[in-house]
Each structure stands twice: as C-alpha cells, then as structure tokens.
Amino acid sequence: MITAVEALPRSPQRRTVLPGLIDAHLHLTSYAESLMDLDLTNLDGPAILAAIAAEDTKAAGGQWIRARHVAASSWSAIADRRVLDRVTRRPLALWATDLHRLALNTTALSQLGVDASPTPPGGTIVRDSHGFATGALEERAAEEAARRIPPPSGDQIRHAIGLAIRKCQAVGLVGAASYETPSGLEHLTAYGTDPTFALRLFQYGQDLAPADRPGNIAPGLPIIGAKFFLDGTLGSRTAWMKEPFSDRGGCGTCRMLPDAISVVAGLRARGYVVSLHAIGDAAFAAALTLLQGQPGRVEHIQVIDPVDLDRVSPHLIASVQPAHLVGDRHEAASAWGERIRHAYPYRSLWERGATLVFGSDAPVVSPDPLVGLQMAIDRRLGDEAAFGPEQALPLEVALAAYTSGPARTLGIGLGQIAPGAPATLTVVDGDFSRRSERRTATVAATVVAGEIVYGQLV
C-alpha cells in the first residue's frame, strides 16, 4: 500500500511513475497460443510460403502447422488451398492478422470436413465455380473450423500462458480484461492456482451458453461480462458499414443475431456486463440501439457516422485499441475514403462523455501499452504525418484510459497514485510528458501490490 507521495529529487535519469497500466481488451489464452505458432508478421507472399516450407521440414509426422499474422495485403495471394498445398501436405491453419479469416490447405480442409459443411449465418466459406472450398473462411465459418483444429496439450498451453503473463508484465501491465472462449476459461482455471499468476485478470466470456452465469463457468475466475459480435473487421472488409467500402464495394458482414435485443436483456438479467464488437459505422449505430442508453461496452469503434455521436451517453464504455492505428492507417484510408475523418474517433467520444478504456486486442497486436498511449496522444510513432490529429487526446485523458478508466469499469481499487492506494505501479524510463521522450520510452519496472514483478526501481 502507498503510505505517502513525494516529489522525486531532480536526476539526470528521467523516470515517470504511473499507476499500474491495465489492458482493457486482450485475449490472454489466444495470445499465449500465438506464441507457439509460426509468426508471419511483416512477410510478403513468397516469404510466407518459404517460412511454411521451412516449418514443414521441422514438424513431426501428421502434426498441424499453425501460423499467424498474414497481412491483409498478402491474404488474397496466399489464402488458397492450391497455393498452400505446394509448400506442405501437413494440415495447415493460417490466420490473418485480424483473426477473422482462416486459410486451410487441402489436408486440413479434409480433416475438418469443410467441403461438406454448410455455410453458417454470419460467415463465409469461399468456394470455387464447382462448389468446392478454396480454403479461405471468414467470420463465423472461420471460428467454427478453428474450434475443430486439434489444440496444443494442456501443459503446453499452461506453459505458454505463463510466458504470455511475463511478456505482459514486461511491457508494464498489471491487469487486463481478457476475452475468452469456454475452452480458454478452462485453461485459465487450470493455470490460476500457479503462484506466479501476478497479472490481475477479469474475464469476458465469448460463445457462452444461454444458462451460463458469472461464477459458474470457471470457478475461481472473475467472469464479469459477455461479448457477442455485430460485425467483422476492417482488414477483411467484413466490418458492417452503412455505405459500401470505397475500394472493394459491399457493406461488410452483419453478425447481429436476429434476437439481439432479447439476448442483451438476458445477459444483463444473468449479471453480465454486455460487450458488443462493433468496428463499422452501421455496427456502432446498432450497438447504441441495443444498449438503449444503459451501461455497456462497445469494442473497437473504428469508424462512426457523425449523426450517431449525439446518441452517445456517459453510460457508454468505449473500449478502443489505439495501437491498431499503426497498421490500419493506410488500409483505413483505402477502405473508407472521406469517412476517414471519422475514424478512430477517440476525442469525439471523450468529449461526449463516454468512458474511454484502452486495450491492445493481443494477439492481433502486441500488448505494449506505450505504443497505444503514443497513438492516442500523438496519433503517430515516428516522423510520419499524424493520422487524424483532430482526434488526439490530452496526455491525462489517455493515461486515464489505461489506468483509472479500466480500474473503475472493472470495479478494482487501482488506477491512482495516492496514500492508501495499492502500490501497483508502472515505472517508465523517460519523461512521458515530452513527445521526444515518449518515442523512446521503455518500461523500467512493473510493481504489483508492492512486489516488483518486472525490472528494477533503481
């Protein structure tokens, strides 16, 4: 516990002491599993195929090859069973960076029975002119296929969860809201007795059964919310839009359930905080309608129609991921054209009273909150032009979105530096109030309840 707060003496070694940073939206078990998969970040098509071919020589007989982070620019050239069959006959699962698209080779398609599977509502199985699956799946079709892929062993996943937690601590995180499927909750329950579990987690369940209630799904884990999808993503052009995308046409994919109003009411009645995935402007408008001015979370909010801003109330928890701007800025300009003026509208939401909470959506991007803070405050990392500078936030507002905002929405006594508060802190090398030092800032230490879980204080 903090007993007193004093100004530090001036020193040539600048450090900024922050309340412990909290990631308001990540997927811990998915992030852990991603650490075991082949990482294809920043590779083009030929390099992706070469990496898969190299992995093929190392994998054991019959073992699945799992790979992630195929960029949107490479997807169309890679996501075809005929292309993938050239580099491996082992079953191969290849995820796009946004995790809303999955590509399978012929062996994987056969093992999962995709050719004979009907296309689920809210999903797409891409088929050729003869009706056979090409290997590319989107949204709910990708999710259903992914659930049938043999997972790593429990021991492997629990080891990876430990590694994921240490990586989160190393970037200054002391807590997180983790979005988990039922299987992910089972893994966290099994891991939760480990004494090194020093990252405070609060779970939001995905794919919950109608009778599930907080506390009876995964004993010992605080499950406080439930999430369902209203649309897809920018990279896949499955975000649900009011008007067609500027570059490819089409208005994306509406994933809103026909009985969504009763589903929201049922979730609230069962004690959950309602969390709605909404990236496109049509999805955001639908989310506001479903929440009906009552407390709830909307996740991502990457583009809005300005007419919907007048419907934003202080009850809205706007859970957004500023680090997405790093990779999305060019994709967003192509997809949304002039609507780019209303993309990643953090200042507009804050000015209308919404509670901003920041997260990373790891494993989609790194959980590093310092990147998210820079993008929220400066709307850029380096010397490039700022992306939508009119939506930049003041330093204190951005910090609150990683500290007191999520602490308040999660109902925990963190998010401040004051006598009597928990000694849960993130210490950063550099003066974070200066943009020149924000660009090079690194985490020096992470402290949880008085215990240094990463780095050194001096």
What's the pLDDT tens digit per position in 103-146?
A: 999 999 999 999 888 999 999 999 999 999 999 999 999 999 99
Over residues 414-426, the mean pLDDT reads 76
- Among residues 389, 415, 412, 390, the alpha carbon closest in space to that of 400 is found at 415
- CATH architecture entry for 37-148: Roll (3.10)
Predicted pLDDT of residue 69: 94
Instruction: Give the phi and the psi of residue 164 in degrees, each rounded to 5.
Output: -60, -40
**Alpha carbons 277 and 238: distance in angstroms, whole number:** 12
For the ranges 9-18, 147-156, 203-212, the lowest mean pLDDT is seen at 9-18
Across the chain, which distance is largest between two alpha carbons, in Å? 74
Provide, rounded to the nearest whole percent, the portion of the chain with pLDDT above 90: 73
For the ranges 88-92, 137-141, 383-387, 418-422, the lowest mean pLDDT is seen at 418-422
Predicted pLDDT of residue 109: 97
Predicted pLDDT of residue 450: 87
Q: Using the predicted structure, report yes or no on whether residue 56 has a pLDDT greater than 60.
A: yes
Over residues 388-402, the mean pLDDT reads 96
Over residues 427-453, the mean pLDDT reads 91
Over residues 237-264, the mean pLDDT reads 95
Chain centroid to CA 400: how far?
A: 19
Which distant-in-sequence residues (6+ apart) come within 8 Å of 269 by Cβ?
none
Predicted pLDDT of residue 423: 83
Over residues 373-391, the mean pLDDT reads 94
Over residues 397-401, the mean pLDDT reads 97
Domain 15-30+155-455 falls under CATH 3.20.20.140: yes
At residue 6 the predicted structure's pLDDT band, cuts being 50, 70 and 90, is low
Q: Using the predicted structure, report yes or no on whether residue 195 has a pLDDT greater than 50.
A: no
Sheet holding 92-96, edge to edge: 38-39, 65-70, 92-96, 101-104, 133-138, 123-127
DSSP 458: -
Predicted pLDDT of residue 457: 84
Predicted pLDDT of residue 410: 76
Predicted pLDDT of residue 414: 67
Classify residue 45 by burial, with Cβ atoms within 10 Å: 0-12, 13-18, 19+.
middle
**Alpha carbons 79 and 70: distance in angstroms, whole number:** 9
Over residues 387-395, the mean pLDDT reads 96
**Alpha carbons 416 and 399: distance in angstroms, whole number:** 10
Return residue ranges of the chain for CATH 3.10.310.70.
37-148
Quote the mean pLDDT of the chain.
91
At residue 40 the predicted structure's pLDDT band, cuts being 50, 70 and 90, is very high
Classify residue 197 by burial, with Cβ atoms within 10 Å: 0-12, 13-18, 19+.
middle
Q: What is the pLDDT of residues 252-308, one digit of tens each?
A: 999 999 999 999 999 999 889 999 999 999 999 999 999 999 999 999 999 999 999
Instruction: Give the phi and the psi of residue 22 in degrees, each rounded to 5.
Output: -125, 130
At residue 58 the predicted structure's pLDDT band, cuts being 50, 70 and 90, is confident
Place of tokens 């479903």: 290
Over residues 319-330, the mean pLDDT reads 94
Predicted pLDDT of residue 236: 94
Residue ranges with strand state E in 338-391: 355-358
Return residue ranges of the chain for CATH 3.20.20.140.
15-30+155-455
**Alpha carbons 42 and 113: distance in angstroms, whole number:** 31
At residue 1 the predicted structure's pLDDT band, cuts being 50, 70 and 90, is low
Predicted pLDDT of residue 183: 86
Predicted pLDDT of residue 197: 53
At residue 214 the predicted structure's pLDDT band, cuts being 50, 70 and 90, is low
- Among residues 114, 118, 170, the alpha carbon closest in space to that of 147 is found at 114
H or E element, residue 96: strand 92-96
- Among residues 258, 295, 253, 259, the alpha carbon closest in space to that of 278 is found at 253
Provide, rounded to the nearest whole percent, the portion of the chain with pLDDT above 70: 92
